Amino acid sequence: MARMLQSSTCEEQRSVVRFLWAKGHKPSEIHRDMRGIARWVPKNLTDDHKGQRMMASLDHLTRYTAQGHDFLEGIVTGDESWAYHYTPETKQASAVRRWLHSNQTDFYEQGILKLVTRWEKCVEKVGDYVEK
């Protein structure tokens, strides 16, 4: 059984969880069963994993040497794991940002002034209010 679980991927594990959920198993039961199975999964890193870890570390050292402290700003840490954080601005986000900056201040002022009347209508209708 251990050999079979060595080749198990995250997608396969997710499929098992979805299958058990569809069969009506409770989340706590699924978690307990998956945790029990985890003892069969090898915990030691293979030589391939060690090589990948070494290459990632060397890549990070090279980037740190080139970029300095700015590189460290992009590292997100948490729960004893780390990953490189990269957030490119999408075309949609930049288009929205341009649109927001292109509006005059009176556009935003009118919206804020309308909030009072909208709030009053919402209170009068006990929250059952959708503007059309």
Reported pTM:
0.30
CA distance 98 to 78: 34
Of 43, 48, 50, 42, nearest in space to 3 by CA: 42
The reported pLDDT for the residue numbered 81 is 52
Ordered per-residue pLDDT tens for the chain, 132 residues: 445 555 566 777 788 888 888 888 888 888 887 777 766 666 677 888 888 889 988 998 998 899 888 887 777 665 555 455 555 667 788 888 888 888 888 888 888 888 888 888 888 887 776 766
The secondary structure of 79-102 as a DSSP string is TTEEEE---PPPHHHHHHHHHHHH
- The number of beta carbons lying within 10 Å of the beta carbon of residue 97 is 11
First to last CA, the chain: 61
Q: What is the pLDDT of residues 34-67, one digit of tens each?
A: 777 766 666 677 888 888 889 988 998 998 899 8
The reported pLDDT for the residue numbered 104 is 86
The reported pLDDT for the residue numbered 1 is 46
The reported pLDDT for the residue numbered 71 is 80
| β pairing state of 75-78 and 81-84 | antiparallel
